[in-house]
Structure 1
Amino acid sequence: MGRVQVVGATVVDGSGRDPVDVNVGIEDGRITQVGASAAHGERLEADGLTMTPGLIDAHVHLGLSSPIQPQFSFRLSAAELAADIFATAGAALDAGFTTVRDTGGIDGGVVTTIAKGKVRGPRVLSCGPVQCQIGGHGYYGAEWEPTELWSSHHVPGLCALSMMSGNADELRHNVREAFRRGASFLKLCVTGGVVGAHDRLTDTQFTVEEIAVAVQEAAARGTYVTVHAHNNDGIRNAVEAGARCVEHGTDLDESTATLMAGREVALVPTFAVVEQLLHDTAGAGLDESTRDRVLGVRERMTEALAVAKEAGVRIGLGSDLIGPAQHRRGEELRLRAKLETPMEALVAATKTNAEILGLSGQVGVIAPGAQADLVLWNGNPVEDPELFADPANAVLVLQAGRIVKDLR
C-alpha cells in the first residue's frame, strides 16, 4: 500500500493516554501523522472501530504448536510439525499480534520463512533453543534416554526446543551455536518449571558464574539474556549475573522485586498458560500430572504481579500458550485486565513489550515514524477487554502498512 489515511477510528495509541478520535496517515509502511487529515492517499473508512497498535506477545512458543508429548516422542512428522507451527503463526496475526518474541522451540528457518512472506505470521524475534542445564527444565527426553541423544529431537531449520549444558564451557559453546542458527537474544532456564518431569519449581538451575557466561556472549552481540524463573533464589542468581528480563516470576517477593527494579530488570508474567493447563491439560498433549504442578501458581503469580508493580518493575505481557490451542492469544490481555486496568494491560502488550524487546518507538505505539502495525477492533477493548480474547473482534490488521486481515 502507498499513502493511506485511516479515518473515523477512535485511536488508543499505546502510551496510556486517553483514546482520541483522529485520523492516522500511513506511507511506505510507516505512520506519517496522527491528527489532522492529509489531502492525499487512499481513505480507509474505520467509523465505529477502535484502533490500537499491533499487539506484542513477549512469550510465545511457535515451535510447540503440536500436542507436546507426541511431538517429543517422534510420533509426528516434520511436515505436520511445520503445518502446525505456520498455522499458529497465522493465528497470531488474526488475534491482532503483529510482533512476537519466541522464547524457545523454533529454529531459524521459521523466522526467515515468515519474514520472506512465504507464510502468514507476525514479526518474530527468537532465542532459538532454550539453554538448560543437564536434566533441568526444558529436557523432555525419556528417562532412559542419554542426554547426548536429546539434540536428535531437533529438526534443523524448523524446531529445536532446548540445548543441554553440563558446565560453563558447554554453555558458552551452546549459546554461540544458538546465535549461529539465528537467535536474536538468549533464554536460560534458571529454576524448575511447571511443564516438566525432572525438576521442581523450588529447584535452582545454573550458577551465577554460568549465567554470566551467557550474559557475556549476548552482550558481545549487542543483545540480552532473559530467564525462565519461578523462585526468588533463581531470579536473584540471574539478576546478579546480568540478565535483563525474567519470565513467569511466580513466587517473586518484595526484596527480589526491589533488586529487579534497581537493576532495571523487566518481568513478563504469563497467566494464559496457567489457565490453559488448569482447564485443558489433555488438549495441550500433556499428562494430567501437569495440572497438579500448576495448582496455586495462578494465585502466586497474581501476588507477584502486585509486588512487582509496587516495586516499580517494568512489567510486560506474555501468553506462554503451548500445544495446538493457541488461537486465543488475546486471553492474556483479558486476564491481565482483571488484575489491572484494561489500559494498563494494553500498554504492557504494546509500549512496554516493545521496550523489553529492544524495539521501543518502532512498534507498540501509534506515533509518527513507527511501523504501521495497527489493529482495528469491533468495539472498544479498553472499555470491554473481553474483546481482546476473541480474534473475530480484530476486524482489520495491518502489518507495516499492509492489510493482513480484513473482516470488514
Structure 2
Amino acid sequence: MASQIISSRFLLLALPVLACVFPCSCHARVTDENGARIRGMFVFGSSLVDNGNNNFLKNSIAKADFLPYGIDFPSGPSGRFTNGKNVIDLLCDQLKLPLVPAFSDPSTQGRKIIHGVNYASGASGILDDTGSRAGNAISLNQQLRNFEEVTLPDLEAQMGFRRRELLPKFLFVVGTGGNDYSFNYFLRQSTANASLEVFTANLTKILSGRLQDHVLQFLLQKLYRLGGRKFVLMAVNPIGCSPMVMASRPGRHGCIQVLNKAGHLFNAHLKSLVDVSKHHLPGSNFVFVNSYRIIRKIIRNPVPRGFKDTTSSCCEVMALNRGGNGVLCKKEGKACEDRNSHVFFDGLHPTEAVNIQIATKAYNSNLTSEVYPINVEQLSMF
C-alpha cells in the first residue's frame, strides 16, 4: 500500500484538509465550424469541484451545504466550497453549458444525466484512504466506478447510442492530488522516510498507471477505453499559501514553501503526463490547466487583478483551538462584504472571483505557462 512508504516531518496541519479535485458535467451547446458538438462534461476530483456530492454522505465533515457558502450562488448553499460558482460551473458558462447534477443526488438519473454528471467529493484524493480522516469521502476509484457502472449504462439507454459513439463528444475533467499531500505526506508519521520527491513520484505513478493497467481500472486509460478522448487535468493549487496553513505557523510571514514545493513537483509531473498520454492513447487530446501559477500570480501582484486580501479567509472560519478544522466556514457565520477582493473564501478554497480567473484562462489563454499545450476552447473543437 502506498501509505506504507509515506512519512512526514512536517506536522503543519492538525485536521483534514478539504482539498480540491473535481467531477462534473455539462451539456454543450457549442458548435465548431464543422458542426461538431460537445455534448457535456464529466468531472472527477475533490472539494474544489464538488458541487454537492458530499451533501448526501453520512458521517462526513467535508460539507458546504450551509451559509455563508453559496451566499452568491443563485440558489444559495448547494455544497460548493465557495461563495458562488466553482471553477467547473464557470467553465461550463464559458462553453455555454448548463450546470450539471451531482451524482449522489438521488434525482440524478434518466434525462438529467444527458448533460454529464459531477462525481467529485470534498476531502478525496488519488489514494483511496486520503479522505478517511474527514469521514466518508468518495475516493477517486469509487468515482470512476460510479461513472462506469451506474451513469454509463443509463446514458446509453437515454441517448440511444453506444458509449464509444457518445463519449468522444464529452469533456472529462480531473482535479485531484492536493489532499494526498495534506493528509498522507504532511500529516502522517511513519517508520518509512520517504522524501518529497519519492512521494510525488508514487502519486504520479498512480495516475500514469491508469495508462497501463486495465485490471486496476486506472483512471485515464479506463476512461479512454470507455470512449473518452478529451481530457482536462487541473493542477494542484498553492496549498502553502492558504489561510489554514498560514494559521498553523503563527508569526511567520509569506507562504509555506515546503508545501508549495510539493504542489509544484506534482504539477510538473502532471504536465509531463499530458505528453506521455498523447503517445499512449492515440486520438486523445489533453489540456493541463496550471491553476497553481494563476493563483500565485494573483497573490504576488493582486491589485492590478482586482484583489486586495491574499492571506485571510473571507468567511469566519472555525479555528483549530475552537473545535474546528481551520478549513470550513462557521455555520451561519459572518462573511466579508467585498468578496470579490479576497483570494480565499474559507481556510482553503478560492472565492468565486479567483475561480473566474482560472476558468477564463483555462478556456482562452494562449500562454503555455497557464494552459498546455492548448486551451479548453481549442480542445472543444477537436
Task: Tell me the TM-score range normalised by the shorter chain.
Answer: 0.3 to 0.5
Give TM-score scaled by structure 2 length: 0.36
Higher strand share: 1
